[in-house]
């Protein structure tokens, strides 16, 4: 039987179509491909992500990236839609490979010369690093930005403020080396649950002048005497192997290398600058309502901002029915996944923030994000069997810290493993399910819930509250009053929460460790807590504060360990039955 075959142009690529099937598979290889080929076989693979982004993909099409290949500083953008029965698929070949194709945000740095002592320097190429870098890697391992005091110093690597006036922009520390710290970044604990970032604009002796004033919370907002801080982003901090500093003015990077001339060094390429960045190695939309797309078995690593991002602004409706599975996101300077877009002219007329709906994230790994694991205004979505770990750990923080900016007066939620946000309860933050996920070593809350109709079941959360305190394995946080709260109908079922320290390194000495298991707070209504196991917290195992619901058949062991607090289950202003 004969079929007519047509060629339809897709950008610069001829697209074969037959009467039998219109679905096409494209192959892409950075090591052996060529964008001048047709991409229709492994032997004729394309080479670049830019070529993929230009394809006019149709329902049922597949784009397969070669396993083991690396694409550097090339952002993959989902711009076309499939259908419910014929999704567009981005995956890998050969099928079943373990060495995932990698979308890397870093490029190699060579030309190292000795600067002094054990510190080497290299000048960045304008072609490869047009806006500079913000992370450094050696042999694939992320290096620590040089800091004072060092991580292994007493008090968890913090020094403490000896002099400061409430709201003032100068701090004094008698232990601070008396050098010119101009341009450095100060990261200071100003509450148990907040770490602020400030730039040094001048220094004199043991006193730093900051770009903006700050206050710290003891019994009321006051001075920051007794609160801890550390400094990075300065040449003088380099005194241990692997510490580094980038001089943006000179476009020069410095690295302390005890083993001689550095080799196998890469830097994260900054590709966008501004107060609010949403750039990611994978973009889930180009600004259109992208739908019915599957992304499977890729690696996204070393990005200067997010691993997966979304457009900052959109004129039409939101992206939806997207599946991200078996994807590894590693060592990104902001969030593993950031789903936050402003809709200006949606079809329902309700403009505002959205994060997509009917999304599925399954069997993904997010390891080493500095702001959040996953955060966004998503709705009616499922997150299942994922691993999220090493989020907002102090040792990994760079110049941008946990992403709070240089002018914030309080920075609460940054450091969450998973944050469900809400703008309008009709369009965002509702109907989400987290099932079978593992959260490990999370800077702030393991999971932070700010929306209704949320279900968390069979998740394992261990070592949340590892960088900050007054947080929990799970926190549910309502608003206004029980009658009007936007957080209701939440179900916490059969979760395991273990070892929540509530880290107070750098806090005023009057502040004790403060980590909870399940933290239901601030007018959260109808929260069911059933069948959970909570082991080893420094404050309550389960706390309901000004909230309602049911607490049924939970096991709480060794709560309130090592602190003055003494409740396994605590009902603080809550009329909630316990059984």
CA distances from 558 to 146, 516, 530 (A): 38, 11, 19
What backbone torsions phi and psi does residue 395 show, to the nearest 5 degrees?
-65, -20
Q: Compute the half-sphere exposure of residue 358: CA atoms within 13 Å on the CB side of its CA.
A: 11
What does the DSSP 8-state code read for residue 44? G
**pLDDT for res 84:** 98
How much is the pLDDT for 1?
35
Distance, in Å, from the CA atom of 211 to the CA atom of 205, rounded to the nearest integer, reads 18
**Interior angle at CA 367, CA 364 and CA 373, nearest 5:** 75
pLDDT at 490: 98
On whether the CB atoms of residues 299 and 100 are closer than 8 A, the answer is yes
Contact in structure between 441 and 415 (CB atoms under 8 Å): no
HSE-CB of 143 using CA atoms within 13 angstroms: 29
Question: What does residue 463 show for φ and ψ, rounded to 5 degrees?
Answer: 60, 40
Confidence at residue 274, expressed as pLDDT on a 0 to 100 scale: 67
Instruction: To the nearest 10°, report the CA torsion of 99, 103, 104, 110.
Output: 90
Sign of CA dihedral 237, 238, 239, 242: positive
Closest CA to 306 of 258, 387, 395, 373: 373
Beta bridge partners of residue 267, listed in sequence order = 107, 136
* CA dist., res. 110 & res. 213, Å (int): 40
368-383 per-residue burial string, b: 16 or more CB within 10 A, e: under 16: bbbbbbbbbbbbebbb
Count other C-beta atoms under 10 Å from residue 117's C-beta.
9
421 contacts: CB under 8 Å, gap ≥ 6? 340, 353, 355, 375, 376, 377, 428, 429, 450, 451
Q: Which two tokens stand for residue 447?
A: 């999971």
Q: For the CA atoms of 541, 547, 552, 553, what is the dihedral angle to 10 degrees? A: -10
Instruction: Give the separation between CA 421 and CA 130, rounded to whole angstroms.
Output: 34
For 48, 84, 172, 310, the CA distances from 53, given in Å and listed in that order, are 9, 22, 52, 15
Whole-structure pTM value: 0.95
Cβ atoms of 301 and 327 within 8 Å: the answer is: no
> 């800077």: which residue's tokens?
443
Q: List average pLDDT for each run of 10 residues in the chain, which is 579 residues long.
A: 38 45 93 98 98 98 98 96 98 94 98 98 97 97 98 93 97 98 98 97 98 92 96 98 98 98 98 71 95 98 97 94 98 97 95 97 98 98 98 97 94 97 97 98 98 98 98 97 97 98 96 95 97 96 95 93 65 70
SS3 content of the chain, % helix, strand, coil (to 5): 5, 45, 55
Phi, psi of 36 (to 5 degrees): -85, -5
Supply 470's token pair. 């007054």
Distances (CA, A) of 56 to 147, 191, 280, 545: 48, 51, 22, 53
Look at strands 252-256 and 244-247 and give their pairing.
Answer: antiparallel
Total Cβ atoms within 10 A of residue 205: 10
Q: Looking at residue 33, what is its pLDDT?
A: 98
Retrieve residue 261's tokens: 């001339």
Which residues is 255 bridged to in the sheet? 120, 244
Compute the C-alpha angle 217/221/222, nearest 5°.
95
- For residue 394, what are the CA distances in angstroms to 304, 369, 413? 17, 11, 15
Do the Cβ atoms of 523 and 487 come closer than 8 Å? yes
Q: What is the pLDDT of residue 577?
A: 66
Give the number of other CB atoms < 10 A from CB of residue 458: 16
> How confident is the model at residue 563, as a pLDDT?
56
DSSP per-residue string spanning 516-572: EEEEEESS-EEEEEES-EEEEESS-SEEEES--EEEES-EEESTTTTSS---SEEEE
Nearest to 352 by CA among 422, 293, 431: 422
Q: CB neighbours (10 Å) of residue 330?
A: 21
């Amino acid at each position: 039987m004969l079929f007519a075959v047509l060629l339809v142009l897709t950008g610069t690529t001829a697209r074969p179509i037959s009467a039998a099937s219109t679905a096409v598979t494209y192959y892409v290889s950075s090591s052996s491909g060529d964008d001048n080929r047709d991409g229709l076989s492994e032997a004729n693979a394309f080479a670049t992500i830019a070529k993929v982004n230009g394809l006019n993909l149709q329902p049922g099409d597949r784009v397969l990236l070669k396993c083991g290949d690396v694409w550097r500083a090339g952002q993959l953008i989902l711009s076309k839609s499939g259908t419910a029965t014929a999704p567009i698929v981005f995956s890998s070949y050969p099928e079943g490979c373990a060495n995932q194709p990698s979308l890397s945000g870093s490029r190699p740095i060579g030309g190292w010369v000795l600067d002094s002592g054990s510190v080497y320097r290299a000048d960045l190429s304008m072609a490869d690093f047009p806006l500079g870098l913000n992370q450094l890697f050696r042999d694939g391992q992320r290096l620590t930005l040089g800091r004072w005091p060092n991580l292994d110093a007493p008090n968890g690597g913090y020094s403490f403020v000896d002099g400061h006036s409430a709201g003032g922009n100068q701090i004094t520390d008698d232990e601070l080396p008396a050098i010119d710290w101009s341009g450095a970044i100060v990261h200071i604990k100003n509450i148990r649950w907040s770490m602020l970032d400030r730039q040094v604009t001048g220094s004199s002796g043991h006193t730093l002048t900051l770009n903006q004033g700050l206050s710290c919370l003891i019994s009321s907002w006051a001075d920051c005497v007794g609160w801890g801080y550390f400094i990075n982003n300065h040449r003088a901090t380099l005194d241990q192997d692997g510490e580094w500093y980038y001089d943006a003015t000179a476009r020069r990077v410095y690295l302390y290398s005890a083993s001689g001339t550095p080799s196998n060094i890469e830097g994260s390429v900054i590709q966008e600058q501004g107060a609010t960045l949403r750039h990611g190695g994978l973009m889930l939309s180009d600004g259109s309502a992208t739908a019915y797309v599957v992304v499977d078995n890729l690696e996204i690593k070393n990005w200067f901002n997010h691993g997966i991002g979304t457009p900052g602004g959109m004129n039409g409706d939101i992206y939806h029915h997207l599946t991200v599975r078996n994807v590894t996101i590693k060592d990104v300077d902001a969030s593993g996944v950031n789903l936050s877009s402003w809709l200006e002219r949606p079809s329902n007329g309700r403009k505002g923030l959205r994060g997509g709906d009917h999304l599925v994230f399954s069997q993904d790994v997010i390891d080493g994000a500095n702001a959040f694991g996953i955060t966004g205004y998503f709705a009616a979505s499922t997150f299942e069997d994922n691993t999220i770990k090493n989020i907002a750990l102090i040792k990994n923080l760079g110049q941008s810290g946990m992403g709070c900016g240089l002018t914030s007066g309080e920075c609460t939620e940054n450091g969450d493993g998973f944050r469900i946000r809400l703008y309008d309860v009709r369009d965002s933050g509702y109907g989400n399910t987290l099932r079978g996920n593992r959260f490990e070593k999370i800077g702030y809350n393991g999971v932070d819930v700010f929306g209704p109709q949320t279900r968390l079941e069979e998740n394992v959360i261990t070592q949340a509250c590892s960088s900050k305190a007054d947080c929990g394995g799970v926190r549910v946080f309502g608003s206004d009053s029980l009658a009007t709260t936007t957080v209701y109908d939440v179900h916490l079922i059969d979760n395991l929460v273990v070892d929540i320290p509530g880290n107070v390194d750098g806090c005023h000495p009057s502040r004790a460790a403060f980590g909870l298991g399940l933290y239901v707070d601030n007018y959260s209504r109808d929260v069911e807590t059933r069948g959970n196991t909570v082991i080893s917290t420094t404050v309550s195992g389960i706390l309901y504060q000004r909230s309602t619901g049911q607490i049924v058949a939970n096991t709480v062991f060794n709560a309130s360990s090592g602190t003055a607090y003494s409740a396994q289950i605590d009902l603080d202003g809550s009329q909630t039955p316990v059984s």
